[in-house]
């Protein structure tokens, strides 16, 4: 299996994907775009579930960010959805949490799902699969349905409900459009009518770094030759070296010249007379 390290302009959206060298570029590109979009939706839904567990649904747009004192001046009721059990310090959520037994389910499911699709999987060399990402998304859907059956008490403007309803109807706002996205490798745009082996060869143990890029954006920016960690280490070394050189320049203390080891005649005195002072008898 050919291992593809998929990147975009955001380093947190990278992931690994396995495929065959004989796959057509058009099929590969569409599969990568679907996986990328589904992964991003899963991360967004996981974040929305954490918000529900912590501070309940999102407030209506006209009351977001308002305190109770400010809302009274404009006849807006920030407690229209009930008395807060865990008030949101930012004022964006109602503070009315779901039933206590479902809060833990939302938090645990959101954490596990976010870990499943995390960009840190690249470091552990674990490729993503559509089945695993879809399973994480469906687990989040189940957790929301447990906390809010049939979207009961979950307003239509809440991010979790919007994501689930858009996914059900197929009207999702996808970051990448299949028809407007290109797949790049080694500074070349892979043509849809070719097979992957036309570019990378027939060795199934090949690993490549590819980029998803909107066609209108042109060629992606060339990556630096060194990674971020090596760059930081080089900067730290140069900074330390300059600091040491500056300390040497600032150090003009010459008191060491009076030391015995700095005596330019020390070697001669040690050789002549064994280092003892020579006395002449009259």
Q: Are residues 246 and 119 in the same domain?
A: no
Residues 40 and 160 in one domain: yes
Per the structure, how many domains does the chain have? 2
280 in any annotated domain? no
Question: 169-211 pLDDT, tens per residue?
Answer: 665 656 788 889 999 998 899 998 999 999 999 988 999 999 9
134 close to 31: Cβ distance less than 8 angstroms: no
d(CA 44, CA 48): 6
**184 plus 249 within the same structural domain:** no
**What phi, psi does 139 have (nearest 5°)?**
-65, -40
Q: For residue 236, what pLDDT is reported?
A: 94
- Report if residue 84 sits inside a domain: yes
Give domain status of residue 282, yes or no: no
Dist. CA 222–CA 186, nearest whole Å = 9
* pLDDT over 70 percentage in the chain: 87
Query: 149 lies in a domain?
Result: yes
**Alpha-carbon torsion 146, 147, 153, 154, what sign?**
negative
Residue 15: band (very low, low, confident or very high) from pLDDT cuts 50, 70, 90: very high
Range of the domain at 234: 228-275
Indicate if 7 and 111 belong to the same structural domain: yes
Q: Model pTM?
A: 0.76
Residues 137 and 254 in one domain: no
- Say if residue 167 is in the same domain as residue 239: no
């Amino acid at each position: 299996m050919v291992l593809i390290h998929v990147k975009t302009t955001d380093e947190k959206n990278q992931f690994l994907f396995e495929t065959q060298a004989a796959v057509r570029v058009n099929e590969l590109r569409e599969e990568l775009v679907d996986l990328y979009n589904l992964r991003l939706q899963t991360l967004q839904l996981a974040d929305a579930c954490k918000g529900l567990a912590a501070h309940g649904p999102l407030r209506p747009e006209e009351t977001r960010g308002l305190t109770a004192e400010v809302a009274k001046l404009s006849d807006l009721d920030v407690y229209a959805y009930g008395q807060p059990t865990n008030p949101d310090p930012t004022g964006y959520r109602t503070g009315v949490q779901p039933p206590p037994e479902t809060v833990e389910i939302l938090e645990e499911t959101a954490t596990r799902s976010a870990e499943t699709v995390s960009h840190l999987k690249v470091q552990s060399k674990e490729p993503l699969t559509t089945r695993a990402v879809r399973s994480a998304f469906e687990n989040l859907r189940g957790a929301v349905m447990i906390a809010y059956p049939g979207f009961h008490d979950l307003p239509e403007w809440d991010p979790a409900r919007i994501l689930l309803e858009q996914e059900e109807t197929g009207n999702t706002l996808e970051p990448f459009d299949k028809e407007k996205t290109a797949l790049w490798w080694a500074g070349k745009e892979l043509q849809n009518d070719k097979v992957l082996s036309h570019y990378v060869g027939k060795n199934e143990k090949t690993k490549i770094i590819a980029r998803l890029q909107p066609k209108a954006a042109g060629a992606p920016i060339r990556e630096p030759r060194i990674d971020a960690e090596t760059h930081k280490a080089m900067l730290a070394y140069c900074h330390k070296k300059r600091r040491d050189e500056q300390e040497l320049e600032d150090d003009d203390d010459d008191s060491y010249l009076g030391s015995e080891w700095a005596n330019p005649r020390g070697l001669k005195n040690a050789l002549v007379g064994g280092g003892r002072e020579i006395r002449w008898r009259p």
